[in-house]
A and B are shown apart, each in its own frame.
Chain A
């Protein structure tokens, strides 16, 4: 078994997901099957292999500057952005109290 019920509960906490007991059991079984399949990556010897995070940027970095000039530009999007929030008190987003005092 690759993943236990306790692992699933811990991962759900990390991911801010509130799973029902049925979901915990379902995901435990399905993740276990997927991780068992993924175990085939252990067949390969990768000790001398460099990891890649992304395929092309490195080549580009060598030849081209990726960054534009740091010039301030007008950015007047706050009202449109705040209009999408469930609870906004412009210019802020409002959330449940985080700090007790």
Chain B
């Protein structure tokens, strides 16, 4: 493949149609690139060439017989390793699932494959999606393809690095507190967290069930929209998947921006925001204004309480969800003389430090005597944060903020201080708690060449609006501001 122009869904499609390349050749090219770059990036944990080539051959057969191409025919896809893939090892970045092979596919994977996508393999991530740097993976950190001494962000660091590094055309990630958007910002690509309930989570291995979402990484807003149009929608295997009809994202992104009201909350531009990030996001907002948007100042007064709220709620839910890893039904078992001893030894050996820390915090927050002070209070503050968003959306159509307070930090820079690591999520957890969709798109680079992410929040089920703004911004050259 050409190093200059990365493949997109559209360019794969036209190349296949014109028979300039076969799906098998394209798949081989991507595996060659993975062989070359993955030892350095560590973006993929498991490759699935058998399944990939079988799918590529099916797409080539369709081309040969003159059938209409499916929407993602031959498109190389990477899948975060917390999303189940039948017959392909799924580790969640954890030793406790080192040899786990799911007996079924996640709905999002099934839908993408049915649409023609070629699953290249599974991408590295923080253990059970808990982390902001990908350094909590039991299989080693991922390196940022645009600066190898930097983290790619987390927890979907492998998916972001795979797409940004040209090792996949699109990827699936998951976002609980920022785990799609922040790596998108650090690696310089569009990364969309859909509305809570928009994409089925059947087959997603749970971290925090009131927050977890699946969404796409891509190199263009258009590709993110196309993937969304395939994975969005009700799934009877996930009772939390929404019945709300799915928008026509491919059509919505093409609409002009004139008159769109964008809210800029001053609470996201205060202390702790890197000056170059501030400058680039402000320049991005100015570009949106030139494209016809109306800028409206906002106050979202509970923003400062979001990290504390999030880390109580997410860890409480995690402590419950991760109780299932006890050595009985799947994954690692470390023998013990009693059942309790087997549980404890298995969990001690199988879980890494951050997962244990979060299980401890969540168990404490739910334990007798502390429930009201921590968990119940956090659930109430969550109401206030959600209200900040619903109040804002009375006045505006979208909210623009930085995605993260700094560009990608150095490997090892924050590993000794969990609280500092948590604060990397300060601008993303708000939207997670409120359930709204949010995209991170590149808005230029710092002097050192690191990408800056601009975040666009929309109303519940307003993915079309968010993608429309991203697409117009991209077409006006905003990614390279």
The answer to whether A41 touches B377, judged by C-beta atoms less than 8 angstroms apart, is yes
Question: Which of A7, A17, A67 has the most B CB atoms < 10 Å from its CB?
Answer: A17
Can you name the residue of chain B whose Cβ is closest to the Cβ of A16?
A: B343
In the complex, A81→B103 CA distance in Å?
7
Please report which residues of chain A, range 1-41, place their CB below 8 angstroms from some CB of chain B when the two chains form the complex.
Answer: 3, 7-8, 10-12, 14-19, 23, 27, 30-31, 33-35, 37-41
Q: Which residues of A contact B333 (CB under 8 A)?
A: 86-87
**Given A16-B326, A40-B305, A44-B305: A49 touches B383 (CB 8 Å cut-off):** yes
Q: Which residues of B contact A84 (CB under 8 A)?
A: 100-101, 103, 329-331
Can you name the residue of chain A whose Cβ is closest to the Cβ of B312?
A: A38
Judge whether A89 is part of the interface by a CB distance below 8 angstroms.
Answer: no
The answer to whether B348 touches A19, judged by C-beta atoms less than 8 angstroms apart, is yes
User: Is the contact region of chain A dominated by helix, strand, or loop, or is it mixed?
Assistant: loop
Distance (whole angstroms) from the CB of A53 to the closest CB of chain B: 6
The answer to whether B434 touches A55, judged by C-beta atoms less than 8 angstroms apart, is yes
Distance (whole angstroms) from the CB of A41 to the closest CB of chain B: 5
In the complex, A10→B309 CA distance in Å?
23
In the complex, A34→B242 CA distance in Å?
34
The answer to whether B460 touches A56, judged by C-beta atoms less than 8 angstroms apart, is yes
In the complex, A64→B341 CA distance in Å?
46
Q: Which residues of B contact A8 (CB under 8 A)?
A: 360
In the complex, A15→B329 CA distance in Å?
18
The answer to whether B360 touches A18, judged by C-beta atoms less than 8 angstroms apart, is no
> What are 14 of the A-B contact pairs (CB < 8 Å)?
A8-B360, A11-B363, A15-B323, A15-B347, A37-B419, A44-B302, A44-B381, A50-B383, A60-B243, A60-B244, A68-B236, A77-B104, A84-B331, A87-B333
Task: With A52-B386, A93-B328 given, name 13 new contacts (CB 8 A).
Answer: A11-B363, A11-B364, A16-B323, A16-B326, A18-B344, A30-B418, A41-B305, A41-B381, A49-B384, A66-B243, A83-B103, A96-B337, A96-B342
